[in-house]
Amino acid sequence: MTFPLSQGSDSELAVLALAGRQDAYRELLARYREKIFRFVAASVGDSQEAVDLTQETFVAAFAALGKYDHDRPFLFWLKRIALNKCRDWSRRRKARAFFVRAEPLELAFEVADDAISADVQAESRAELKRVSAAISRLPSRLREALVLRTIDGLSQSEAAAVLGVSEKAVETRLHRARARLKANLESK
């Protein structure tokens, strides 16, 4: 293929990448790195963890590139992989939290607090943090639908494709997520 890579379709780039063209991998990464990072950061609520999870997403995607269905949007395929990475991270986090709580109480004072003090934060930053925390406390099924539709801006059918559920299920989850989020924010 003799076209500039930036003008190639995702499917063409995938074929070139599978043929060993490193520049095709770089082009796919450049196209979707920011979108995947924003999606992951919104899903896990931690931008530092999101950097690692974004990298893991692309490593996994490029390793499985031969399984990509060229009839489907590449971004949806990437988001599905990212969603699985977020779910894995959440499960690992819960397991780590269990063991951290099992430590003697005296050791709890040795853990550093990474939170920025409230007097340093501007009011809008504090509100953003409060909303992000409330989103992260939502059950994963509700949080995923909310992030895909509201934060990531996907249509209902696109979100359904990423989640592997019906559009009605996305609609129901989104409604429940918004209701629970509103209740959580009003109670605090």
103-157 pLDDT tens trace: 554 555 555 555 544 444 466 677 778 888 888 888 989 988 988 888 888 888 9
Taking domain 7-114, whether its CATH number is 1.10.1740.10 is answered by yes
Please tell me whether the overall predicted TM-score, pTM, comes out greater than 0.85 for this model: no
3-state helix, strand, coil in the chain (%, to 5): 75, 0, 25
DSSP code for 66: G
Q: Among 48, 41, 11, which Cα is nearest to 132's?
A: 41
Q: What is the CATH number of domain 117-188?
A: 1.10.10.10
**Tens of each residue's pLDDT in the chain, 188 residues:** 456 888 889 899 999 999 888 999 999 999 999 999 999 998 888 888 999 999 999 999 999 999 999 888 999 999 999 999 998 888 887 666 555 555 554 555 555 555 544 444 466 677 778 888 888 888 989 988 988 888 888 888 988 998 999 999 999 999 999 999 888 888 86
Cα dist from 134 to 7, 48, 85, 170, 175, whole Å? 41, 19, 21, 19, 15
φ/ψ of residue 5, rounded to 5: -60, -35
Identify whether the C-beta of residue 149 lies closer than 8 Å to the C-beta of residue 184: no
Distance CA 77, CA 56 (A): 14
**Structural domain spans, the chain:** 7-114, 117-188
